[in-house]
């Protein structure tokens, strides 16, 4: 894929260097003699940039490591600075004037000179004297000369266009500029290229400029720039503003996702992404405790990144702190404000002060709900534009083969591998954290039958194992030909006839009725518990046809159910569907045919999950299922209860993911086979837990904190 190159790499920071003394520095007599003309139109400014560091306020997130004390050290290629844009904007109490554009200067690569140690850089930015003069022309003598300074490391072409447009517009609209990354557009700008990560202010940096335009005549030489990070002895300047000098903190606009294999080891070997999922009790141990054996495992084969926001703000913004039960005020946001946590530990204990929300580009739309047209807002949308979900498009999402990722050398001592990067996506509310607008990961798992099932004396289990493992190469990957597997109440069945028989066995008791008028001295009848959940799910309110069984002597009998079969129950509709099977090929009608859909609708309405085969380009034909994980940012530690900022992706964080447990079979490939498919309006946190994903959220820092310009 071809992408535009960018000039800057993003760096994030969470603390400012301390300011110099708060006194007023007077001009000194031994300042350099500077020609009033200097370099003509240019004036020069120098500034220090502080790379992302471990200090600062951040959310609590539970995990193997405490994110309140742990950090993630960025790789060298994530920390490089190639180009810098330095922007000056007016500081004012007037909302319409605050951050009004003054001027900008570009620091190209050839002006960034590394120190001999390679840990810092020295450079300056050149500004148009005309631009600076226009700012001073609008000031009165009593007006403050305070400005807000913005630093953009490794900026994009679009950001350059935004700043160039401000040379004419000269307003504060630029602070709301948003970048766009469209994964389907080969020319789309990426903000996480190697050695080219976009970084912007982590906080507002206020600096005081010289009192008059004439004072700038001292700074028309590149060798004598006005220092925005230190003191300037050539002119009288007020340094009384808190933190008016020191480094400007920056942060990466992207977030990072890491992954490691956390599957448990069993059967004396490393599991290699294999999880025991379905169990059967088989006897007891020497202490009389039941022995549980796994008869079906899931091997995670692929993982896809879904619902990645297409648009992101260049500069972070947050809401003001408000009580949890207060409405979110998106009209009064704080530019480059800090994110404050809502609670302080994994028990969900609330902090002494309310937290706040990081505000994303789609925040207003999220308040009413993104329920359709998902491809407008997201890369790799998990839902089709009509709100349906279809895992058959899995490989069209941001998909990675897990073993390929894990075959790479580990990127960190904790054995995590860098998986991918993402734009920011935050949701301004608790109850609106929904599947349709939350960034997540879809895991693809392949069913694998272990030796216990392969060697089982249970005919259904043994047949199930042979089908799943494709021991006789019977699977074609064509769902209209291969056997369908049926899940009901935690039990998996191979083919519908096995379901039918099992439902009868669950509810029917053959009863011998003594009758001397009968030639055998009696006859068999069926005592049927029609209220049995399994039986009712298969046969509805009607009869079950006939039931075949053996007596204690092994003699086989078949007895009819006197009640007529319901024509709307799954069993009747399956038999109607099955009669259309081609006697030569064994093919049934396609997925969209009327009889197919009628049976599947009846089955899923009665809580059956249907699994059909498909072909995976990596692992071949088989039975696959899917697990949805919605990314946690601020875990409240309470399953089933969502909290503020719990499901988000926030810039300059590393999300370290690992799957520690799979509790049940996942969702089927097609929604028509799923009794409980995710919908755009499904809450991100529900009681029905399929998969346990541990996430540790760490600040994304660098080895060296200071870069001097």
Q: How far apart are CA 638 and CA 155, in angstroms?
A: 40
Range with the largest mean pLDDT of 78-87, 251-260, 339-348: 251-260
Q: How far is CA 145 from the centre of its chain?
A: 43
Q: How far apart are CA 587 and CA 596, in angstroms?
A: 12
Among 446, 428, 471, which residue's Cα sits nearest to residue 650? Answer: 428
The three-class DSSP label of residue 573 is: helix
Among 692, 691, 684, which residue's Cα sits nearest to residue 649? Answer: 684
Contact yes or no for 647/631 (Cβ under 8 A) = yes
Among 132, 134, 166, 133, which residue's Cα sits nearest to residue 152? Answer: 166
Contact yes or no for 48/18 (Cβ under 8 A) = no
Q: How far apart are CA 55 and CA 671, in angstroms?
A: 46
Task: Kindly indicate the confidence band of residue 284, based on its pLDDT and cuts at 50, 70 and 90.
Answer: confident
**236 pLDDT above the threshold of 80:** no
Q: How far apart are CA 513 and CA 413, in angstroms?
A: 73
**307 pLDDT above the threshold of 60:** yes
44 vs 535, higher pLDDT: 535
DSSP 579: T
**547 pLDDT above the threshold of 90:** yes
pLDDT of residue 76: 81
Query: CA distances (Å), 699 to each of 245, 305, 653, 696, in order?
Result: 25, 21, 5, 10
Q: How far apart are CA 611 and CA 622, in angstroms?
A: 10
**24 pLDDT above the threshold of 50:** no
Q: How far apart are the first and last CA of the chain?
A: 34
pLDDT of residue 100: 97
Q: For residue 136, count other CB atoms closer than 10 A to its CB.
A: 18
The three-class DSSP label of residue 375 is: helix
Backbone angles phi, psi at 244, to 5 degrees: -75, -10
Contact yes or no for 539/565 (Cβ under 8 A) = yes
pLDDT of residue 160: 95
Q: How far apart are CA 651 and CA 656, in angstroms?
A: 14
What residue spans define the domains of the chain? 24-253, 306-446+618-701, 494-610
Is pTM beyond 0.85 here? Answer: yes
626-662 as b/e, with b when 16 or more CB fall inside 10 Å?
Answer: bbbbbbbbbbbbeeeebbbbbbbbbbbbbbbbbbebb
pLDDT of residue 271: 59
Give pLDDT tens digits for 46-67.
Answer: 766 655 654 433 444 433 333 4
Task: Kindly indicate the confidence band of residue 572, based on its pLDDT and cuts at 50, 70 and 90.
Answer: very high
Mean pLDDT, the chain, rounded, equals: 83
705 vs 205, higher pLDDT: 205
Query: CA distances (Å), 225 to each of 27, 217, 605, in order?
Result: 15, 11, 74
pLDDT of residue 285: 77
Among 447, 402, 449, which residue's Cα sits nearest to residue 301? Answer: 402
pLDDT of residue 336: 94
Task: Kindly indicate the confidence band of residue 232, based on its pLDDT and cuts at 50, 70 and 90.
Answer: confident
> Domain 306-446+618-701 has what CATH class?
mainly beta
Partners of 313 in the beta sheet? 178
pLDDT of residue 391: 77
Q: How far apart are CA 253 and CA 708, in angstroms?
A: 21
Contact yes or no for 486/608 (Cβ under 8 A) = yes
489 vs 387, higher pLDDT: 489
DSSP 580: T
Least confident of 33-42, 221-230, 687-696: 33-42
pLDDT of residue 223: 85
Q: How far apart are CA 624 and CA 613, in angstroms?
A: 7
The pair of structure tokens assigned to 161 is: 């266009």
Range with the largest mean pLDDT of 166-180, 256-270, 393-407: 166-180
Q: How far apart are CA 568 and CA 306, in angstroms?
A: 38
**4 pLDDT above the threshold of 80:** no
Mean pLDDT of 168-190: 95
**27 pLDDT above the threshold of 90:** no
Range with the largest mean pLDDT of 222-231, 364-373, 398-407, 533-542: 533-542
Query: CA distances (Å), 383 to each of 140, 360, 363, 426, in order?
Result: 56, 20, 19, 18
Query: CA distances (Å), 141 to each of 137, 138, 211, in order?
Result: 10, 10, 9
Query: CA distances (Å), 136 to each of 132, 212, 225, 532, in order?
Result: 7, 7, 19, 85
492-498 long-range Cβ contacts below 8 angstroms, 24+ apart:
492/278, 492/296, 492/464, 492/665, 493/460, 493/464, 494/460, 494/463, 494/464, 494/467, 495/463, 496/571, 496/574, 496/578, 498/460, 498/463
The pair of structure tokens assigned to 545 is: 């046809």
Query: CA distances (Å), 617 to each of 115, 419, 477, 483, 675, in order?
Result: 50, 21, 11, 20, 27
Mean pLDDT of 81-101: 93
Task: Kindly indicate the confidence band of residue 25, based on its pLDDT and cuts at 50, 70 and 90.
Answer: very low
Give pLDDT tens digits for 580-596.
Answer: 877 777 676 665 588 88
Of all residues in the chain, the percent with pLDDT exceeding 90 is 54
Least confident of 185-189, 237-241, 320-324, 391-395: 237-241
Among 501, 498, 510, 502, which residue's Cα sits nearest to residue 556? Answer: 510
Mean pLDDT of 555-575: 96
Among 274, 279, 529, 503, which residue's Cα sits nearest to residue 402? Answer: 274
Task: Kindly indicate the confidence band of residue 79, based on its pLDDT and cuts at 50, 70 and 90.
Answer: confident
The pair of structure tokens assigned to 587 is: 């093919």
Mean pLDDT of 104-108: 87
The three-class DSSP label of residue 582 is: coil
Q: How far apart are CA 110 and CA 87, in angstroms?
A: 19
What is the chain's alpha carbon radius of gyration, rounded to the nearest angstrom? 33
Q: How far apart are CA 61 and CA 67, in angstroms?
A: 6
Q: How far apart are CA 578 and CA 700, in angstroms?
A: 57
Among 288, 618, 561, which residue's Cα sits nearest to residue 445? Answer: 618
Task: Kindly indicate the confidence band of residue 14, based on its pLDDT and cuts at 50, 70 and 90.
Answer: very low
The three-class DSSP label of residue 283 is: strand
The three-class DSSP label of residue 318 is: strand
SS3 content of the chain, % helix, strand, coil (to 5): 15, 30, 50
Query: CA distances (Å), 281 to each of 285, 289, 452, 524, 624, in order?
Result: 11, 10, 12, 32, 25
Mean pLDDT of 303-312: 96
Mean pLDDT of 676-703: 72
Give pLDDT tens digits for 493-546.
Answer: 999 999 999 999 999 999 999 998 888 889 999 999 999 999 999 999 999 999
């Amino acid at each position: 894929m071809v992408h535009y190159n960018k000039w800057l790499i993003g760096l994030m920071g969470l603390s400012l260097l301390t300011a110099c003394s708060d006194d007023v520095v007077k001009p000194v007599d031994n300042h350099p003699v500077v020609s009033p003309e200097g370099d003509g139109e240019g004036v020069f400014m120098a500034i220090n940039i502080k790379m992302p560091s471990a200090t600062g306020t951040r959310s609590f997130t539970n995990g193997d490591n405490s994110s309140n004390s742990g950090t993630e050290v960025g790789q060298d290629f994530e920390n490089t600075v190639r180009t810098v844009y330095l922007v000056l904007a007016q500081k004012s109490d007037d909302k319409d004037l605050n951050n009004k554009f003054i001027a900008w200067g570009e620091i190209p690569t050839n002006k960034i000179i590394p120190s001999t140690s390679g840990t810092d850089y020295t450079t300056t930015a050149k500004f148009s004297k005309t631009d600076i003069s226009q700012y001073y022309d609008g000031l009165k003598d009593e007006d403050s000369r305070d400005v807000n300074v913005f630093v953009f490391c490794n900026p994009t072409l679009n950001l350059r266009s935004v700043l160039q447009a401000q040379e004419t517009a000269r307003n504060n609209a630029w602070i709301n500029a948003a970048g766009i990354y469209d994964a389907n557009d080969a020319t789309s700008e990426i903000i996480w290229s190697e050695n080219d990560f976009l970084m912007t202010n982590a906080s507002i940096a206020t600096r005081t400029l010289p009192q008059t335009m004439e004072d700038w005549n001292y700074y028309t030489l590149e060798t004598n720039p006005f220092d925005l990070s230190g003191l300037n002895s050539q002119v009288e300047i007020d340094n009384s503003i808190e933190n008016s000098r020191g480094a400007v903190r920056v942060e990466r606009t992207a977030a990072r996702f890491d992954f490691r294999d956390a599957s448990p080891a069993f059967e004396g070997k490393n599991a290699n992404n294999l999880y025991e999922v379905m169990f059967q009790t088989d006897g007891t141990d020497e202490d009389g405790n039941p022995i549980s054996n796994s008869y079906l495992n899931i091997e995670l084969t692929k993982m896809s990144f879904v619902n990645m926001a297409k648009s992101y703000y260049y500069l972070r913004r947050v809401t003001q702190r408000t009580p949890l039960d207060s409405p979110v005020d998106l009209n009064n946001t704080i530019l480059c404000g800090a994110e404050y946590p809502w609670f302080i530990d994994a028990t969900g204990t609330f902090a002494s002060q309310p937290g706040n929300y990081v505000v994303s580009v789609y925040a207003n739309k999220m308040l009413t709900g993104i329920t359709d047209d998902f491809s407008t807002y997201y890369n790799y949308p998990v839902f089709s534009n009509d709100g349906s979900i279809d895992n058959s498009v899995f490989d069209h999402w941001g998909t990675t083969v897990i073993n390929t990722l894990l075959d790479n050398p580990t990127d960190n001592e904790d054995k995590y591998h860098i998986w991918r990067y993402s734009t920011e996506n935050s949701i301004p509310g608790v109850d609106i954290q929904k599947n349709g607008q939350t960034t997540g990961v879809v895991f693809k798992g392949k069913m694998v039958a272990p030796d216990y099932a392969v060697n089982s004396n249970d005919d259904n289990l043994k047949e199930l194992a042979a089908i799943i493992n494709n021991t006789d190469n019977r699977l074609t990957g064509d769902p209209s030909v291969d056997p369908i597997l049926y899940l009901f109440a935690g039990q998996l069945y191979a083919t519908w006839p096995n379901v039918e028989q099992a439902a009868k066995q669950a509810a029917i008791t053959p009863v011998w009725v003594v009758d001397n008028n009968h030639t055998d001295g009696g006859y068999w009848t069926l005592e049927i518990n029609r209220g049995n959940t399994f039986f009712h799910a298969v046969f509805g309110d009607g009869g079950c046809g006939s039931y075949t069984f053996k007596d204690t002597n092994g003699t086989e009998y078949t007895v009819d159910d006197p009640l007529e079969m319901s024509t709307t129950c799954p069993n009747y509709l399956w038999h109607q569907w099955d009669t259309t099977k081609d006697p030569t090929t064994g093919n049934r009608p396609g997925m969209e045919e009327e009889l197919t859909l009628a049976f599947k609708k009846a089955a899923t309405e009665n809580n059956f999950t249907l699994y059909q085969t498909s072909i995976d380009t990596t692992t071949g034909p088989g039975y696959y299922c899917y697990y949805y994980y919605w990314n946690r940012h601020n875990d409240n530690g309470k399953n089933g209860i969502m909290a503020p900022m719990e499901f988000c992706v926030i810039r300059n964080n590393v999300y370290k993911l690992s799957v520690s447990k799979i509790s049940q079979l996942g969702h089927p490939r097609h929604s028509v086979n799923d009794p409980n498919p995710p919908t755009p309006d499904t809450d991100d946190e529900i009681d029905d837990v399929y998969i346990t994903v541990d996430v540790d959220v760490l600040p994304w820092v660098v080895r060296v904190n200071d870069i001097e310009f």
